[in-house]
Amino acid sequence: MFLKRQTKTLSALPRGPVEYLVVGLGNPGRDYENTRHNAGFLAVDALAEKLGAKIDRLKFKSLCGDAMIGEHRVLLMKPSTFMNNSGEAVRDAMQFHKIPIEQVLVLFDDVSLDVGRLRIRRQGSDGGHNGIKSILYQLATDTFVRIRIGVGAPPPDWDMADWVLGRFSNEEISHLSKLVDCVVEEAVPELLTHGAERAMNQYNGKVF
């Protein structure tokens, strides 16, 4: 992956039932690699790298991998449905593993936040994001935790689709790398261990 990480902490071998879904949103295929719209994929890839997990098993219309975060077994997911149908993958995995909505965590790009900013939310609208819109539709609820990863708004003369399907500049990659490190090293473990309220207080508003 193009975000270089300095540390790797191997997780214990997965054991017990899956307790959490950690879902990164993006589009599959080489044409979409490392684009703004695939920030969720990038974050989940970085999390897998830290934990020594492989996201290489095709199930639930996704590439999946198992890992332990603390005492919790998590299923890391990268839906292969393309962004607009991401909810189908989340729904199928939830139903199979009997995961409550409170134990679903979704990571995705957000053009309303500058690069280097993140925002954690426990619920809310889709904010114009088609992947979140699909999840809301398939689950018929908005009460899942999400980490919004800032990718910046397009300049006035840019088409939105061209912007989110474009790639980060070198300067943006520097900010994004620091943000993803925080997500991987701190925010996701904090969410699973202590819950969304504490994580929101700690990380919302931070600039990387």
Spatial contact of 66 and 14, defined as CB atoms under 8 Å apart: yes
pTM, two decimal places: 0.93
CA distance 135 to 208: 28
Residue 194 annotated to the active site:
no
Domain annotation covers residue 149: yes
Q: Residue 123 has what DSSP assignment?
A: S
Q: Which parts of 7-144 fold into alpha helices (H)?
A: 39-51, 86-97, 130-139
Give the range of the structural domain holding residue 56, as residue numbers without chain letter: 20-203
Spatial contact of 147 and 120, defined as CB atoms under 8 Å apart: yes
The one catalytic residue in 37, 72, 97, 175 is 37
Domain annotation covers residue 147: yes
Structure tokens at 153: 């708004």
Domain annotation covers residue 7: no
Domain annotation covers residue 142: yes
What is the pLDDT at residue 2? 59
Cβ neighbours of residue 197 closer than 8 Å, sequence gap 6 or more: 122
What tens digit of pLDDT does each residue of 48-68 get? Answer: 999 999 999 999 999 999 999
What tens digit of pLDDT does each residue of 2-12 get? Answer: 565 555 565 66
Count of structural domains, the chain: 1
Average pLDDT, the chain: 93
Q: What percent of the chain has pLDDT over 90?
A: 91
Domain annotation covers residue 208: no
What is the pLDDT at residue 143? 97
- Is residue 148 predicted with pLDDT exceeding 60? yes
CA distances (Å), origin 16, targets 72, 125, 135: 9, 33, 26
Q: Which parts of 98-155 fold into alpha helices (H)?
A: 130-139
Name the residue with tokens 């449905």: 81
What is the pLDDT at residue 12? 66
- Domain CATH for 189: 3.40.50.1470
Spatial contact of 25 and 83, defined as CB atoms under 8 Å apart: yes
Domain annotation covers residue 2: no
What is the pLDDT at residue 1? 52
Domain annotation covers residue 175: yes
Spatial contact of 93 and 104, defined as CB atoms under 8 Å apart: no
Cβ neighbours of residue 199 closer than 8 Å, sequence gap 6 or more: 120, 187, 190, 191
What is the pLDDT at residue 8? 59
3-state SS class at 207: strand
Domain annotation covers residue 66: yes
What is the pLDDT at residue 14? 81
Structure tokens at 27: 């589009």
